[in-house]
Amino acid sequence: MSHRFGLKGNLALMVSHCAGMLDLVALPLWVGILVASYQFDSQQAGGLVTLFLIGAVCASALIAPRFKTLNRRMVTSVGFLTSGLCFFAASQTNDYLHLAILHVVAGVSASAALSMAHGMFARGENPHRLFAIAGLTLGVMGVVFMGATPNITQIAGGHSLFIIFGGIMTFAAVVCVLAFPSVVLDHEQNVNDKLVVTKIPSSVWFGIVGISLMAVTQAMTFSFMERVGNDRGFAADSVTLVLVVMALINIVAAALAGIFQKRFSAQVVLSAGPILQIILSNIMMNASGFAFYAASAACFVSIMIFTHTFAFGLLARLDVSGRAMAATPAMLMIGAAIGPVLGGTIIKLFDYQGIGIAAFVFGTISLVCFMRVFQRSSDVIQSESVA
pLDDT of 6-30, one tens digit each? 788 889 999 999 999 888 788 878 9
For residue 183, pLDDT beyond 80:
no
**Single pTM value for the model:** 0.77
pLDDT of residue 377: 63
Q: How far apart are CA 27 and CA 5, in angstroms?
A: 31
* Predicted local confidence at residue 180, as pLDDT: 92
Q: What is the fold, at CATH topology level, of the domain defined by 6-180+193-386?
A: Growth Hormone; Chain: A; (1.20.1250)
Q: State the pLDDT at residue 324.
A: 65
pLDDT of 378: 60
Percent of the chain topping pLDDT 70: 88
Check pLDDT > 60 for residue 237.
yes
Most confident of 77-91, 183-197, 346-360: 77-91
pLDDT for 316-333, tens place per residue? 777 655 566 667 777 777
Quote the mean pLDDT of the chain.
85
Instruction: Give the per-residue pLDDT at 329.
Output: 77
Q: Which of 13-22, 54-63, 89-98, 105-114 has the lowest mean pLDDT?
A: 54-63
Residue of 169 and 344 predicted with greater confidence: 169
pLDDT at 196: 47
Structure confidence at residue 124 as a pLDDT band (50, 70, 90): low
What are the pLDDT digits (tens) for 335-383?
777 887 888 889 989 999 999 999 999 999 999 999 998 886 665 555 5
Burial of residue 73 (CB within 10 Å: 0-12, 13-18, 19+) is: middle
Does residue 385 surpass a pLDDT of 60? no
CA 60, 62, 63, 65 dihedral sign is positive
Q: Name the DSSP class of 199.
A: P
Helical packing angle, 202-222 and 290-318, nearest 10°: 160
Give percent of the chain above pLDDT 90: 43
Are 306 and 258 contacting, i.e. CB atoms less than 8 angstroms apart? no
pLDDT score of 163 more than 50: yes
For the chain, what are the domain ranges?
Answer: 6-180+193-386
Write down the pLDDT at residue 284: 96
Q: What average pLDDT does range 135-162 have in this prediction?
A: 90
Amino acid, single-letter form, for residue 44: Q
Ranges 127-131, 175-179, 217-221, 317-321, most confident: 175-179
268-283 pLDDT per residue, tens: 999 999 999 999 999 9
Is-contact 41 348, C-beta < 8 A? yes
> Could you report the per-residue pLDDT of 54-72, keeping only the tens digit for each?
899 889 888 877 777 888 8
**In terms of C-beta density within 10 A (0-12 exposed, 13-18 middle, 19 or more buried), how is residue 363 classed?**
buried
* Listed residue (139, 121, 182, 184) closest to 324, CA to CA: 121
2: helix, coil or strand? coil
Phi–psi pair at 122, nearest 5 degrees: -65, -20
Nearest to 164 by CA among 189, 140, 145, 139: 145
Q: Which residue has the higher pLDDT, 33 or 5?
A: 33
At 264, give phi and psi (nearest 5°): -105, 135
What is the spatial distance between Cα 357 and Cα 103, in angstroms, rounded to a whole number? 29
More confident residue, 224 or 328: 224
DSSP 185: P
